[in-house]
Structure 1
Amino acid sequence: MDRVNRLAAQRAVVIFSMSSCCMCHTVTRLFCELGVNPTVVELDEDPRGKEMEKALARLLGRSPAVPAVFIGGRLVGSTDKVMSLHLSGNLVPLLRNAGALWV
């Protein structure tokens, strides 16, 4: 859990992902199209990925634990939460407040 929190706090937007996960790719593309440069942590490419995946599953209360999106060091959630924030117009202000967007 400490590693997840440490990584999540290092950048404005951090996405914990799996390289073969289509929803992870979709969420990452959304942020890129909004002008955000997220840090993507590919759990299947990290030696401690399984440990982080278990910690994220506990945080999210579900499995699979990816994508897990952190904005401003705080857990936002997975695809459904990110898309809900985007469609309601609340994602961009959240990104601005975290320093991920300047426009």
Structure 2
Amino acid sequence: MEQLLMVAIKEEGLIPIVEGSMVMIVGRRGCHMNYVAQRLLEGLKAYPTMYEVSEEFVARMTLMRNLGRTLRGDYNTLFAPLFPAIFIGEKLIGGLDQLIAIHVIGKLIPMLKEAGAIWLRVVCYIFSI
């Protein structure tokens, strides 16, 4: 799925935007999951770039994914595409569930620091004599 999503994002012309952003959320227009991911990241003081894709893009992704599953002989399950897609430091993390899982195990903050999206805050006190 990640390869399919990356090809679609390249076709959409988002690669320069992803490369120029420390944290980016690509999601469906008006989807509450975008908001949840955005609030989680903003709560950690990482302010993501938001990009909303059209319903046509979503439909194309869904069709491509389900067609691939059908051609492999998996007729039991059809899926919607992975949205929102979250990128940290130009790397595709995955959807909201993956973002939350990374945060729960304690790897999200180090990833955000490595990407330069958040900084370690050091408070210095200067005492004068």
Q: Same fold (TM over 0.5)?
A: yes
Match of 1:97 among 110, 114, 128: 114
CA distance in 2, matches of 1:32, 1:71: 13
- Report which structure shows greater RCO (CA 8 Å, sep ≥6): 1
- SS class of match (1:20): coil
1:26 — aligned with what? 36
CA distance in 2, matches of 1:73, 1:29: 20
CA distance in 1, matches of 2:113, 2:80: 29
CA distance in 2, matches of 1:7, 1:18: 17
2:45 — aligned with what? 35
Runs ≥4 in structure 1, deviation > 6 angstroms? none
2:57 — aligned with what? 50
TM-score (norm 1): 0.79
- SS class of match (1:27): helix
Match of 1:68 among 70, 85, 102: 85
Number of residue equivalences: 96
- SS class of match (1:81): helix
CA distance in 2, matches of 1:37, 1:93: 15
TM-score (norm 2): 0.65
Q: Please identify the structure whose Cα radius of gyration is greater.
A: 2
Structure 2 unmatched runs, 5+: 1-6, 70-78, 121-129
Question: Aligned Cα RMSD in Å?
Answer: 2.5
- SS class of match (1:83): helix
CA distance in 1, matches of 2:104, 2:82: 22
- SS class of match (2:54): helix
